[in-house]
Amino acid sequence: MGRSLNANKNKEPEGELAIRTLAMPANTNPIGDIFGGWVVSHMDLAGLSIARNLGSPRVVTVAIEAMEFIHPVHVGDFICCYAKLLKVGRTSMRIKIQTWVVGPDEDSRYQVTEGVFTYVAVDEHGKPTPIAIKEGEYHLSKNLNKQN
């Protein structure tokens, strides 16, 4: 069940803004709202942009957990995907992604989705390869291994 918009009132996006784009009519589902798959693909790209900064230019998505669609997205909304690094493993990275909507008047802002995406660094043969991050190299690294 969707949360009331009031529940978002004192909430702030978690992590850093990774993608901001406009929901267009071409991205609608048969009932006229924005198609969930379009939003998820932007969330995936947002996480990818963070994951690629962690030491490997080749990164693939291996899992999406805890995916929640909280409110519909409408044509004319700007979607903003925020990414927060939760954990770096040997070859994998867990990244929490939230999508927030900014209405056409730029006045209202509320959260519409949340999910945890796992990415794996791979070599040129598509095999998992160790992540080369060094502590402090990436500013989100202060969140390393902190579970949410």
Ligand X SMILES: CC(C)(COP(=O)(O)OP(=O)(O)OC[C@H]1O[C@@H](n2cnc3c(N)ncnc32)[C@H](O)[C@@H]1OP(=O)(O)O)[C@@H](O)C(=O)NCCC(=O)NCCS
In the window 74-103, what residues touch ligand X (CB under 6 A)? 89-92
Single out the residue of 102, 128, 138, 140 in contact with ligand X (rule: CB under 6 A): 128
Single out the residue of 33, 49, 62, 141 in contact with ligand X (rule: CB under 6 A): 62
C-alpha separations of 23 from 20, 57, 82, 116 in Å: 10, 28, 16, 22
| Sheet hosting strand 78-88, strand order edge to edge | 16-22, 78-88, 92-102, 109-121, 59-69
Binding window for ligand X (CB under 6 A); candidates: 24-32, 54-62, 100-108, 134-142: 54-62
63 interacts with ligand X by CB under 6 A: yes
61 interacts with ligand X by CB under 6 A: yes
Nearer to ligand X, 21 or 92 (CB): 92
Single out the residue of 73, 81, 85, 120 in contact with ligand X (rule: CB under 6 A): 120
> Which residues sit at the interface with ligand X, rule CB under 6 A?
60-63, 89-92, 118, 120, 122, 126, 128
